[in-house]
């Protein structure tokens, strides 16, 4: 069985489509946990129309909301997606298949984007995003779990939940979690595990600077873990020291 976690803050325009996609899964989720992160719109009212469990996280931020959902999960596999993401019907089935390999402790895949600006070619941006994901994996040395498209073992979360960083401004939450999980086993990238997400955050130029800044801070903060993982998996193929060199 799989626990699905959806952090949500003011997602009234998106969460219905997300939950509709989860209702169509070929492998039915054991539970769906919507983490209400102090929404002031109709997010909770919409979520109540579905067979989900709603929990409240008063501390604002993606990390507190994500962690609360993971801690609430009851089943051996935890899947996470975003409230503005639509998952394919076989999403949970593919996550379970990937984690049937005991050496794999987490799995992730890319995204396409359903609301691209008419000024930006959809395929071009999707390819660019995929290249970025692959570059981060190469840099980290043992895979990368992408926020709206990931599954992990609950046993792995239990081992790292007291180690992960808690400040959204200090780290990129997905990179931070990937680094902490990397010491436990293989993080698998499945190019066939594709979700469809909103591009709304990437329509703002400041998002590119913010995510890059937090990503670099995450890697520098955990330099020793990253270098160890990188050496183990890639044997010096990537010039990581240039990026990790402290100020």
CATH number at residue 98: 3.90.550.10
Q: What is the pLDDT of residue 242?
A: 44
Distances 149 to 44, 79, 86, 95, 126 between C-alpha atoms, Å: 22, 8, 10, 10, 15
List the structure tokens of 41. 């719109």
Q: How many domains does the chain have?
A: 1
Q: What is the pLDDT of residue 95?
A: 98
Burial of 245 (0-12, 13-18, 19+ CB in 10 A): exposed
What does the pLDDT profile of the chain (247 residues) look like in tens digits? 999 999 999 999 999 999 999 999 999 999 999 999 999 999 999 999 999 999 999 999 999 999 999 999 999 999 999 999 999 999 999 999 999 999 999 999 988 888 766 555 555 556 655 666 666 666 666 678 888 999 999 999 999 999 998 887 778 889 889 888 988 999 999 989 999 989 777 556 665 566 666 767 777 666 656 656 655 554 444 444 444 444 4
List the structure tokens of 114. 């359903």
Helix (H) or strand (E) holding 214: helix 205-221
DSSP SS3 for 4: strand
DSSP SS3 for 181: helix
Q: What is the pLDDT of residue 27?
A: 98
Q: Which domain holds residue 171?
A: 2-244
């Amino acid at each position: 069985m799989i626990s699905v976690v959806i952090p949500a803050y003011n997602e009234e325009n998106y969460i219905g489509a997300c939950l509709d996609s989860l209702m169509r899964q070929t492998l039915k989720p054991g539970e769906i946990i919507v983490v209400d992160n102090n929404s002031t719109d109709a997010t909770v009212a919409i979520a109540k129309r579905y067979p989900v469990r709603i929990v409240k996280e008063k501390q604002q931020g993606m990390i507190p909301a994500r962690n609360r959902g993971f801690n609430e999960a009851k089943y051996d596999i935890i899947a996470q997606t975003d409230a503005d993401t639509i998952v394919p019907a076989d999403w949970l089935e593919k996550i379970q298949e990937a984690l049937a390999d005991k050496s794999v402790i987490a799995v992730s895949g890319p995204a396409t984007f359903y609301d691209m600006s008419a000024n930006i070619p959809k395929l071009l941006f999707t390819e660019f995003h995929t290249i970025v994901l692959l570059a981060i994996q190469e840099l980290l040395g043992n895979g990368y779990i992408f926020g709206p498209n990931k599954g992990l073992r609950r046993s792995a979360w239990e081992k790292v939940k007291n180690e992960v960083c808690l400040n959204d401004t200090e780290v990129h939450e997905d990179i931070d979690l990937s680094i902490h999980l990397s010491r436990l086993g293989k993080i698998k990238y499945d190019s066939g595990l594709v979700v469809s997400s909103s591009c709304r955050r990437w329509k703002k130029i400041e998002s590119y600077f913010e995510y890059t800044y937090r990503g670099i801070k995450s890697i520098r903060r955990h330099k020793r873990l990253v270098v160890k993982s990188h050496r183990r998996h890639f044997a010096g193929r990537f010039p990581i020291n240039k990026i990790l060199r402290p100020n």
